[in-house]
Amino acid sequence: MIAASNSYVSAMFSYHSSISFRRTLQILLLFTAISLSCLVIFRELDSFRYFPLFSFSTFSASPPPAFPLFPSLADDDELSADADEYELSKALKDAATENRTVILTTLNEAWATPNSVIDLFLESFRIGNQTRQLLNHLVIIAFDKKAFIRCLAIHVHCFSLVTEGVDFHSEAYFMSHDYLKMMWRRIDFLRTVLEMGYNFVFTDADVMWFRDPFPFFDMDADFQIACDHYLGIPDDLDNRPNGGFNYVKSNNRSIEFYKYWYSSRETYLGYHDQDVLNKIKYDFFIHEIGLKIIFLDTAYFGGFCEPSKDLNRVLTMHANCCIGMNNKLHDLRIMLEDWKHYMSMPPYLKVSSNSSWRVPQNCSI
């Protein structure tokens, strides 16, 4: 009886020992599985930091930039450039017409002060004949921080093109070192706009807009430019162009032309963009790429060099052939007064009137 009881106890002990062993084994296996899973997860997290966390799209043809989760300090310049491109893309997209056309002007502190050139420029759009709505498509490119702040206070579409190490804030006198840098910076920037797929009208801020010029552009031309002196034939290369007003279509021909124009500054050291254009317009390269150039008639696109005399036809007027800020402001204000007087006349008097400008005065050369 005792032997049987001992056998039963021994059997029960073996049974429970077996169960305990299996449970212990299961726990060990589970712990091992969890440990291996954690190891894999941590390895994946460690490698993940080398992959982009997010990206935003730009409207350029290049792939969108990707930003690492933990960017190094060495990436700061690249990140800044990508951010600038994004801001430019946004400004252009917000201002563009349906066919991706924008109006561009540049601004520095000297022209941005209250009651200065930029105020007269914007006023011309407001008092012009069906030009006010064109302000919706204007992007002001600020060359310095104060100009950018002023732009934000007076206009919707602004972009800051501050160049490190270069001070564009003061008045850049014609053909000075700063003037040349500013003009060539502008040419390089306009090439960028073309590469982003936007057509543009570039206008100096001392060009007054009195009528919508778009219906008067040749839609078959690649590059159309105003003139200091117009000889009467729109495709005559002997016309004297003025870089302060042009209409350019974005295509391979115009992009290659702007690259060539910008690179030619090294061939013609010390020349500004307009003089270089006057030299390269005859080059075989221009003919080879098939660029169609049209020179705009000063009867419609006038200036102080060669005024548009008929106020019934004038589209824009440029304060060119004028040196000195005070002289320019004086004559621009008189020009706007002349236009306001013309616009206040009854229609029948406008047609029969011989009204013309009282300028240039201080800008006479």
The answer to whether 141 and 163 have CB atoms below 8 angstroms apart is: no
Going by the DSSP 8-state scheme, the letter that residue 214 receives in this structure is G
Residue by residue, pLDDT tens for the chain (365 residues) are 444 444 444 544 444 455 455 555 555 555 555 555 554 444 444 433 333 322 323 333 333 333 333 334 344 455 555 667 789 999 999 999 999 999 999 999 999 999 999 999 999 999 999 999 999 999 999 999 999 999 999 999 999 997 655 544 444 444 456 678 888 899 999 999 999 999 999 999 999 999 999 999 999 999 999 999 999 999 999 999 999 999 999 999 999 999 999 999 999 998 989 999 999 999 999 999 999 999 999 999 999 999 998 999 999 999 999 999 999 999 999 999 999 999 999 988 888 777 789 999 999 75
Q: Please give the CATH number for the structural domain made up of 96-352.
A: 3.90.550.10
The pLDDT, as a whole number, for residue 317 is: 98
Tokens of residue 15, six digits: 């049974």
**Phi, psi (5° rounding) for residue 33?**
-65, -45
Q: What pLDDT, on the 0 to 100 scale, is given for residue 173?
A: 43
Q: Domain segments of the chain: what residues?
A: 96-352
For the four alpha carbons of 172, 205, 217 and 158, in that order, the dihedral sign comes to: positive
CA distance 156 to 137: 10
List all residues 6 or more positions away from 234 whose beta carbon is below 8 Å from its beta carbon.
218, 294, 295, 296, 297
φ/ψ of 178, rounded to 5, equals: -65, -35
Tokens of 115: 């009651």
Residue 161, classed as helix, strand or coil, is: coil
Q: What is the pLDDT of residue 183?
A: 86
pLDDT at 49: 35
Q: From CA 302, how far away is CA 319, in angstroms rounded?
A: 9
Q: How many CB atoms lie within 10 A of CB 51?
A: 9
> What pLDDT, on the 0 to 100 scale, is given for residue 136?
98
Query: Which of 319, 354, 324, 312 is CA-nearest to residue 335?
Result: 319
Find tokens 């200065």 and name the residue.
116
- What's the confidence (pLDDT) of residue 24? 57
Query: How many whole angstroms separate alpha carbon 117 and alpha carbon 132?
Result: 17
Q: The whole model's pTM is what?
A: 0.76
Q: Which residues contact 9 (CB under 8 A, 6 or more apart)?
A: none
Q: What is the predicted pLDDT for the residue at 265?
A: 95
Q: Give the separation between CA 111 and CA 159, rounded to whole angstroms.
A: 16
Category of 165 on φ-ψ map: left (φ > 0), alpha (ψ -120 to 50) or beta: left
Amino acid at 119: D
Eight-class DSSP state of 10: H
Model pLDDT, residue 39: 47
Buried b / exposed e over 234-250, threshold 16 CB at 10 Å, is: beeeebebbbbbbbbbb
Burial of residue 46 (number of CB atoms within 10 Å: 0-12, 13-18, 19+): exposed
In the chain, DSSP finds a helix count (H) and a strand count (E) of: 11, 12
Q: Listing from the earlier edge strand, what are the strands of the sheet with 101-107?
A: 158-160, 138-142, 101-107, 199-203, 240-248, 223-229, 293-295
Instruction: Find how far residue 160's CA is from the centre of its chain.
Output: 9
